[in-house]
A and B are shown apart, each in its own frame.
Chain A
């Protein structure tokens, strides 16, 4: 199969360090002492916990319900007892904690009732629903809920589906071993995605430093009888970035702030395809994943690990060297040191590297930028990292956005090549999170302003309405009084001679004015009487014939009220109600 491959600009070739962990086949990690399963393991809404402390759970039982469409369910990785639903430190550079379900395994590893289905008998909606319920997310690292990517665009015809087996980051070999050992299931999983999206072509991209994986995948594709193309791409970091792999395989360049689906391309990781197949054809939700344990250890190897396994227990399996001083989650280019060794493995954990100064010597101090432009040549997104660096450093965030900082995938190529050893990606992460924080603040301020303005408008309107009502009531009252007075006058004038009746107008006019005055006086009088009655009614009752105890209690209450600064009961309390 000869195919014209394309190139992406930039990229670097760090030492791959993959052979260490390739020597041994995948092993099942033993059951840990306890499992800490974070509820928020994917992009999107945080799943709601559906279990409580003390509940018995089975392997694969739902413990966190998806919250909204872009969110994926979370399941118990083994059978046992829920110890608590509480905040625990996350494998996140912040070292902050989030809600987790802690499970104590009972050792039986007993599954729930699994319901394997033939996905061909289901509608596409049902398949997507099942994937969401099974917690299938992108296992390449971004953990985007997979079902959200499986709806074909209505406007753009789906041309190619790219399956990402490049695994470009040094040290990591979990996808390599997955393709070698479980190629058939990966291919069948790709088949599900293909049937949902109906692309014209399916391209499986694998870096050419994994010939065994590529051969295994080719054999599996043939065995299953599919027409997927397995393509070996040149080993160049970051060929496994979605946009880079799409560029290499299809020649399409995804423009800034657009998605690959706008060009009719969708990209999935091989491990995602595998979990999708397990979820549909075996009814097994995502409760474990392959993790490469490598770095400063005696026996680097790939393990199938239950989600929620504490990282330090896992690292012990590979017997770390005594000078190990930390754990890096992810690879050396994009990974980060976890805040404490017992944080749990999550769906995004593809690799744990035992860190030591021998393996990763501390960087010499940062030097000033000499404007050599190496970073711009290395950037796979054709950005200008040096410009973004200056503006990030100066906190000129508007300018960083003009230089498209949000297209930066934080691959670390620029930091890798920088002769001044500037941690460029750190600056970009700083700038990005500042911009997001500002955006949140701006939205909050806009909302507050809108609510404040509406409150003012409402108060004005209420005032106007009240005034209008009062005016109307007063007018009605006056008219009524006038009518009464006129009627009274008319009644008094009935026996009067007819001559006078012929000219009632001049007499009626002054009498009407008088009547109005009288009516006003009467209403005032009535209001005063009403107020008096109200005041009397408000006076405390049952104050006679009190026992000394009751008297004391009453006085005590009065004194408390006085100290609390409340108005004494004599003055009416309802002053505020205008």
Chain B
């Protein structure tokens, strides 16, 4: 008799807990992978595809699935560092050379108004219409260079964004000590 009671109590407990867990899994369901979102927040959102993926989100998904973290040149060494911190992986040198931040500029005299760059721009930062001159909205250009290859007359070039008083940063006050080159005794 006792044993039956014990079994009944355990069974009841299992049913109650199971129901609670089932309810929680529906009620508190996590949409999407939170890790992917965290990775994506670190990526610079230039949508340039230099990593080999069609945008920052696909690359974030790939990183979550084990892809290397050093394939994002616009993110730079610092981006690699932050990804490594987030994922607990080794910091690796960047898989490409790091470039300063750039903006694309259309040479207005050469532009023929073909709209090909407008279709290529991932962030809709180019204004224009067929057979009308096109122009790039500087503030919205991410410097991804995706508009360069489609241009049939090569009228788009990249310009490095110069530092101005508002964007100027105080320098790091720590002077790094480097070993002086040893002079050979004459």
Which A residues fall within an 8 A CB radius of B?
A: 40, 90, 92-94, 96, 98, 393, 395, 423, 426-427, 429-430, 432-434, 437, 440-441, 444-449, 451-452, 454-455, 564-566, 576
Partner of B142, one of A432, A448, A564: A448
Taken together as a complex, chains A and B put the C-alpha atoms of A434 and B171 apart, in Å, by 9
Given contacts A98-B164, A447-B140, A452-B47, contact A434 B122 (CB under 8 A): no
Contact with A along B55-97 (1 / 0, CB 8 A): 1100000000000000000000000000000000000000000
25 of the cross-chain contacts (CB-CB < 8 Å) are A90-B165, A92-B165, A94-B163, A94-B165, A98-B164, A98-B165, A426-B170, A427-B173, A430-B170, A437-B167, A437-B169, A444-B45, A445-B43, A446-B45, A448-B46, A448-B47, A449-B56, A451-B123, A451-B124, A452-B47, A452-B56, A454-B124, A455-B124, A564-B152, A576-B119
A residues less than 8 Å from B116 (CB atoms): 576
Q: Which of B122-167 contact A (CB under 8 A)?
A: 122-125, 140, 142, 152-153, 163-165, 167
- Do A452 and B170 have beta carbons less than 8 Å apart? no
Taken together as a complex, chains A and B put the C-alpha atoms of A426 and B174 apart, in Å, by 10
A residues less than 8 Å from B119 (CB atoms): 576
B residues less than 8 Å from A432 (CB atoms): 170
Taken together as a complex, chains A and B put the C-alpha atoms of A440 and B161 apart, in Å, by 14
- Do A566 and B152 have beta carbons less than 8 Å apart? yes
- Do B169 and A452 have beta carbons less than 8 Å apart? no
Which residue of A has the minimal Cβ distance to B153? A564
Taken together as a complex, chains A and B put the C-alpha atoms of A37 and B172 apart, in Å, by 31
Given contacts A448-B46, A455-B122, A455-B124, contact A430 B169 (CB under 8 A): yes
Given contacts A426-B173, A445-B45, A564-B153, contact A96 B124 (CB under 8 A): no
Which residue of B has the minimal Cβ distance to A561? B152
Which residue of B has the minimal Cβ distance to A38? B165
Q: Which 6 A-B pairs have the closest CB atoms?
A: A445-B45, A94-B168, A451-B123, A433-B169, A426-B173, A429-B170
Partner of A455, one of B45, B123, B167, B171: B123
A residues less than 8 Å from B167 (CB atoms): 437, 440
- Do A451 and B169 have beta carbons less than 8 Å apart? no
- Answer whether residue B44 sits at the interface, using C-beta atoms and an 8 A cutoff: yes
Taken together as a complex, chains A and B put the C-alpha atoms of A446 and B172 apart, in Å, by 27
- Do B152 and A452 have beta carbons less than 8 Å apart? no
Shortest A427–chain B CB gap in Å is: 6
- Do B171 and A430 have beta carbons less than 8 Å apart? yes
A residues less than 8 Å from B163 (CB atoms): 94, 96
A residues less than 8 Å from B168 (CB atoms): 92, 94, 96, 433
Shortest B118–chain A CB gap in Å is: 11
A residues less than 8 Å from B172 (CB atoms): 395, 430
Taken together as a complex, chains A and B put the C-alpha atoms of A531 and B66 apart, in Å, by 50
- With A423-B173, A444-B45, A452-B56 already in contact, 10 other A-B pairs whose C-beta atoms are closer than 8 Å: A94-B168, A430-B169, A445-B43, A445-B44, A446-B45, A448-B45, A448-B142, A452-B47, A455-B123, A564-B153
Shortest B119–chain A CB gap in Å is: 8
B residues less than 8 Å from A449 (CB atoms): 40, 45, 56
Given contacts A454-B124, A455-B124, contact A441 B55 (CB under 8 A): no
**Contact-residue size bin, chain B (C-beta under 8 Å from the other chain):** 20 to 34
Shortest A386–chain B CB gap in Å is: 15
Chain A contact surface mostly: helix
B residues less than 8 Å from A455 (CB atoms): 122-124
Shortest B50–chain A CB gap in Å is: 14
Taken together as a complex, chains A and B put the C-alpha atoms of A92 and B173 apart, in Å, by 18
Which residue of A has the minimal Cβ distance to B130? A577
- Do A430 and B165 have beta carbons less than 8 Å apart? no
Partner of B140, one of A90, A437, A440, A451: A451
- Do B170 and A433 have beta carbons less than 8 Å apart? yes
- Do A96 and B164 have beta carbons less than 8 Å apart? yes
B residues less than 8 Å from A395 (CB atoms): 172
Q: Which of B29-60 contact A (CB under 8 A)?
A: 40, 43-47, 55-56
Shortest A111–chain B CB gap in Å is: 31
Shortest B87–chain A CB gap in Å is: 18
A residues less than 8 Å from B46 (CB atoms): 448
Which residue of A has the minimal Cβ distance to B74? A445
Taken together as a complex, chains A and B put the C-alpha atoms of A492 and B169 apart, in Å, by 88
Partner of B55, one of A444, A452, A564: A452
Shortest B88–chain A CB gap in Å is: 18
Which residue of A has the minimal Cβ distance to B123? A451
- Do A448 and B169 have beta carbons less than 8 Å apart? no
B residues less than 8 Å from A448 (CB atoms): 45-47, 123, 140, 142
Given contacts A449-B56, A455-B122, A455-B123, contact A434 B47 (CB under 8 A): no
Shortest B177–chain A CB gap in Å is: 11
- Do A434 and B169 have beta carbons less than 8 Å apart? yes
Shortest A300–chain B CB gap in Å is: 30
- Do A565 and B165 have beta carbons less than 8 Å apart? no
Shortest B47–chain A CB gap in Å is: 5
Shortest A23–chain B CB gap in Å is: 37
Shortest B10–chain A CB gap in Å is: 48
Taken together as a complex, chains A and B put the C-alpha atoms of A445 and B44 apart, in Å, by 6
Taken together as a complex, chains A and B put the C-alpha atoms of A437 and B152 apart, in Å, by 36
B residues less than 8 Å from A565 (CB atoms): 152
A residues less than 8 Å from B165 (CB atoms): 40, 90, 92, 94, 96, 98
Which residue of A has the minimal Cβ distance to B47? A452
Which residue of A has the minimal Cβ distance to B55? A452
Which residue of B has the minimal Cβ distance to A46? B166
Shortest A364–chain B CB gap in Å is: 14
B residues less than 8 Å from A566 (CB atoms): 152
A residues less than 8 Å from B56 (CB atoms): 449, 452
Shortest A577–chain B CB gap in Å is: 10
A residues less than 8 Å from B140 (CB atoms): 447-448, 451
Taken together as a complex, chains A and B put the C-alpha atoms of A564 and B174 apart, in Å, by 52
Taken together as a complex, chains A and B put the C-alpha atoms of A312 and B129 apart, in Å, by 54
Partner of B173, one of A430, A440, A444, A564: A430
Shortest B111–chain A CB gap in Å is: 14
B residues less than 8 Å from A434 (CB atoms): 169
- Do B174 and A393 have beta carbons less than 8 Å apart? yes
Which residue of B has the minimal Cβ distance to A453? B57
Shortest B171–chain A CB gap in Å is: 7
Shortest A415–chain B CB gap in Å is: 11
- Do B44 and A441 have beta carbons less than 8 Å apart? yes
B residues less than 8 Å from A576 (CB atoms): 116, 119
Shortest A410–chain B CB gap in Å is: 11
Taken together as a complex, chains A and B put the C-alpha atoms of A432 and B170 apart, in Å, by 8
Taken together as a complex, chains A and B put the C-alpha atoms of A483 and B123 apart, in Å, by 48
Taken together as a complex, chains A and B put the C-alpha atoms of A427 and B43 apart, in Å, by 27
Shortest A237–chain B CB gap in Å is: 22
Which residue of B has the minimal Cβ distance to A455? B124
Taken together as a complex, chains A and B put the C-alpha atoms of A92 and B124 apart, in Å, by 36
